[in-house]
Amino acid sequence: MIEVQHLCKTFYVARRGAGFGQALHSLFHKDYEEIRALDDVSFSIQEGEMVGYIGPNGAGKSSTIKILSGILVPDGGSCIINGRVPWQDRISHVREIGVVFGQRTQLWWDVPVMDSYELLRDIYGVPEAIYQENLEELTDLLNLSELLKTPVRQLSLGQRMRCEIAASLLHNPRILFLDEPTIGLDAVSKLAVRKFILRRNQLHHTTVILTTHDMQDIEALTKRIILIGKGKILLDGTLDDIPGSHGNMEQAMADLYRNYGI
């Protein structure tokens, strides 16, 4: 279903030291550093799988998600999802995926959540019957009934995040990319979101790719994990492949990152 081979992406980042002298110097001469965000990344994911995509900050997780969702064009390598190259066939590709970027919002700020949902319904051309059915299911599972009439600006982070996740699923996507979906959520919301993602996967056989720093998300949701560091895939296996994963997960991850020097 998702076939990624030898994916590469390099960014050029302007760097300079702090201070006025350095700022002045960079007026005339800018130093660019090459950052290999993705360096020969390959993996494949089957339909209905739930995969945790983990790694330290700046490892290349978000870049991968952006390439898989057709937003970013890689410098090299190939990626086939449902028989399509995401960035070449963007419009038909994005019809079949749902994306949640935990740090951003897709809802219209000054209007009730419902208005954003109806816009999404029209953008994806979801038939009314299916839309109603999905909306009911999502409202029920994510406990949204109180929130739908509230303007987005007046929602708390956790409330908004639940609305964001529902927004990404209104069009029945076959694949769901979740980029840190539980960032900043309280315990109750976290549990609700996890339970919901599991249900969705069981009921609709939705393929889920999840990036997170919360190891409990990974424990609760995914069997398979892919570890990326400095743009390279370091481990593709299960939680059991991580030494010490049955004790303190945070500690185990920190040790793992240290061992790999990332």
Partner 1 sequence: MKKYFSFFRLRFSMGLQYRAAALAGIATQAFWGGLEILMFRAFYRADPLAFPMSLESTSAYIWLQQAFLALFMGWVMENEIFASIQSGNIVYELCRPIGLYRMLFVRSLAYRLSRAVLRCFPILLMAAFLPSPYGIALPPSPAAGMLFLLGMVLGLFVTVAFTMLIYSLTFFTISPAGIRMVALSALEILSGSILPIPFFPKGLQGVLEILPFAAMQNVPLRIYSGDISGNEAIRALSLQAFWLVVLVGTGVILMSRASKKVTLQGG
Residue among 71 and 249 whose Cβ is closer to partner 1: 71
Residue among 48 and 58 whose Cβ is closer to partner 1: 58
Distance CA 126, CA 128 (A): 6
Using the rule CB under 8 A, give the single segment among 20-28, 120-128, 181-189, 220-228 that binds partner 1. 120-128
Q: Considering only residues 34, 104, 146, 247, which one is a binding residue for partner 1 as defined by CB under 8 A? A: 104
Applying the rule CB under 8 A, the residues between 80 and 99 that interact with partner 1 are 87, 90-92, 94-95, 97, 99
Residue among 43 and 124 whose Cβ is closer to partner 1: 124
Question: Would you tell me how many other CB atoms lie within 10 Å of the CB of residue 128?
Answer: 8
Applying the rule CB under 8 A, the residues between 229 and 248 that interact with partner 1 are none
Residue among 60 and 158 whose Cβ is closer to partner 1: 60
**Two tokens at 133?**
């059915």
Using the rule CB under 8 A, give the single segment among 44-52, 66-74, 138-146, 188-196 that binds partner 1. 66-74
**Two tokens at 108?**
């219209």
Q: Does the protein bind partner 1 through residue 60 (CB under 8 A)? A: no
State in angstroms the smallest separation of the CB of 94 from partner 1.
5
DSSP result, 135-203: HHHHHHHHT-TTTTTSBGGGS-HHHHHHHHHHHTTTT--SEEEEESTTTT--HHHHHHHHHHHHHHHHH
Distance CA 58, CA 173 (A): 28
Q: Does the protein bind partner 1 through residue 24 (CB under 8 A)? A: no
Q: Considering only residues 23, 24, 123, 254, which one is a binding residue for partner 1 as defined by CB under 8 A? A: 123
Sheet holding 224-229, edge to edge: 97-101, 175-179, 207-211, 50-54, 224-229, 232-238
Applying the rule CB under 8 A, the residues between 131 and 190 that interact with partner 1 are none
Residue among 54 and 242 whose Cβ is closer to partner 1: 54
Please count the residues of this chain forming the interface with partner 1, following the rule CB under 8 A.
Answer: 33
Select from 213, 229, 209 the least CA-distant residue to 66.
209
Q: Does the protein bind partner 1 through residue 124 (CB under 8 A)? A: yes
Residue 78: CB partners within 8 Å, gap ≥ 6? 3, 4, 5, 6, 7, 85
State in angstroms the smallest separation of the CB of 105 from partner 1.
7
Name the phi and psi angles at 220, rounded to 5.
Answer: -75, -30
Residues at the site binding partner 1, with contacts judged by CB under 8 A: 11, 62, 66, 69-73, 87, 90-92, 94-95, 97, 99, 101, 103-106, 108-111, 115-116, 118-119, 122-125
